[in-house]
């Protein structure tokens, strides 16, 4: 099956279907375009490969309603679960979680409309709890692509541990370094807010290391947290390769996408993705 170009994927959700949408800033299109490109490339190459006898699976822990509406514009974009449903070669199963029931219902209805009803399960609830059920349902011998796309620091490291226990699970995680970690740093350092501790994991000694960091410029701090996170993914969960891309808004960096694969070759697909931006220009992230 041929790869679906990004504009065609957007055209499929162009008409108002009366269901709730997620309102997003224009920069969200960069994130969604990256995920779309990665899924198109990976599904094209991996579905049907003998080493993945159980097939290709998709997990979306913060799925949203399935369609995004760009603020102050008429542009509508497929949300991550619909991007997965439009993979060049279909996933064997798509698991989506959203804590908001309206989003979960809208997502389920939209997945049905694009023909994915029988190969999708949408859960309403906290993904940090539902992850156990999802990990149980992923068979041995599967290749799983998982998107972890919270609004802030809402995913616990233990959630990733559970998910990654399901075998070869490659991850794309939104790490809200600029607009959450740095903005609320005082509360995270004092321990009044525990979300950063939960996100970086109980065994991370980030506080001690932060105390040793000589330069607390925002760029340095963001790099510091990114290094801590990747180191823990590698040391504790056996991720072999990782890379990050910074997503910028009109006033500078907003957040970082952390890609991690259990196999060094996983990076090959990922690096192809940032070779061109959605206008066909080189170097989306340079």
Ligand X SMILES: C[S@@+](CC[C@H](N)C(=O)[O-])C[C@H]1O[C@@H](n2cnc3c(N)ncnc32)[C@H](O)[C@@H]1O
In order of 29, 119, 147, 179, 190, the CA distances from 58 in angstroms are: 20, 10, 8, 27, 37
Cβ of residue 240: shortest distance to ligand X, in angstroms?
A: 25
Question: What distance in Å separates the CA atoms of residue 214 and residue 221, rounded to the nearest whole number?
Answer: 10
Interacting residues with ligand X between 220 and 259 (CB under 6 A)? none
CA dihedral sign, ordered 178, 157, 172, 106? negative
Size (the chain), residues: 286
| Smallest distance, ligand X to C-beta of residue 49, A | 27
Task: Select the span of 135-143, 147-155, 175-183, 228-236 touching ligand X (CB under 6 A).
Answer: 147-155
CA atoms within 13 A on the CB side of 138: 26
- CB of 124 vs ligand X, minimal distance in Å: 9
Options 112-120, 143-151, 176-184, 259-267: segment touching ligand X (CB under 6 A): 143-151
Closest contact distance (angstroms) between CB of 259 and ligand X is 15
Kindly state the smallest distance separating residue 184's Cβ from ligand X, in Å: 17
Farthest-apart Cα atoms in the chain, separation: 54
Provide the minimum distance between the beta carbon of 85 and ligand X in the complex, in angstroms, as a whole number.
12
Give the residue ranges of DSSP H helices in the chain: 6-11, 28-46, 80-85, 101-113, 127-137, 157-164, 185-190, 195-200, 206-212, 218-237, 266-273
What is the layout of strands, in order, in the sheet containing 67-70? 22-24, 67-70, 76-78
Q: Which span (37-45, 149-157, 208-216, 254-262) binds ligand X, by CB under 6 A?
A: 149-157
- Tell which one of 42, 69, 127, 144 touches ligand X (CB under 6 A): 127
Between the alpha carbon of residue 175 and those of residues 31, 91, 147, 228, the distances in Å are 12, 25, 12, 12
| Residue 16: count of CB within 10 angstroms of its CB | 11
Among 29, 30, 108, 149, binds ligand X (CB under 6 A): 149
Among 4, 33, 64, 122, binds ligand X (CB under 6 A): 64
Q: Residue 41 or 99: which CB sits closer to ligand X? A: 99
Return the number of the residue (55 or 150) whose C-beta is nearest ligand X. Answer: 150
Question: Token digits for 87?
Answer: 């993979």
| Smallest separation, CB 64 to ligand X (Å) | 3
Which residues in the 75-114 window bind ligand X by CB under 6 A?
Answer: 79-80, 97-100, 103
- Please give the residue ranges that form the binding site for ligand X (CB under 6 A): 22, 32, 62-64, 68, 79-80, 97-100, 103, 126-128, 149-151, 154
């Amino acid at each position: 099956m041929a790869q679906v170009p990004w504009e065609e994927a957007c055209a499929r959700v162009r008409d108002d279907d009366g269901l709730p949408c997620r309102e997003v800033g224009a920069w969200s299109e960069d994130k969604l375009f990256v995920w779309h490109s990665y899924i198109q490339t990976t599904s094209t190459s991996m579905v049907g490969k003998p080493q993945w006898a159980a097939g290709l699976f998709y997990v979306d822990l913060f799925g949203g309603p399935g369609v995004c509406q760009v603020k102050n514009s008429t542009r509508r974009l497929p949300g991550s679960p619909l991007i997965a449903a439009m993979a060049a070669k279909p996933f064997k199963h798509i698991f989506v979680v959203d804590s908001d029931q309206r989003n979960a219902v809208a997502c389920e209805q939209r997945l049905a409309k694009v023909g994915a009803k029988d190969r999708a399960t949408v859960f309403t609830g906290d993904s940090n709890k539902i992850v156990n059920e999802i990990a149980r349902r992923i068979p041995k011998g599967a290749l799983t692509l998982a998107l972890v796309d919270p609004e802030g620091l809402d995913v616990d490291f233990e959630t990733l541990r559970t998910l990654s226990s399901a075998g070869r699970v490659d991850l794309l995680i939104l790490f809200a370094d600029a607009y959450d970690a740095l903005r609320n740093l005082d509360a995270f350092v004092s321990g009044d807010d525990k979300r950063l501790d939960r996100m970086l994991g109980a065994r991370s000694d980030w506080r001690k290391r932060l105390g040793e960091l000589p330069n607390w410029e925002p760029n340095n701090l963001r790099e510091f947290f990114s290094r801590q996170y990747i180191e823990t993914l590698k040391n504790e969960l056996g991720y072999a390769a990782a890379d990050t891309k910074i997503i910028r808004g009109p006033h500078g960096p907003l957040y970082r996408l952390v890609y991690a694969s259990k196999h060094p070759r996983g990076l090959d697909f990922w690096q192809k993705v940032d070779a061109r931006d959605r206008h066909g220009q080189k170097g989306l992230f340079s």
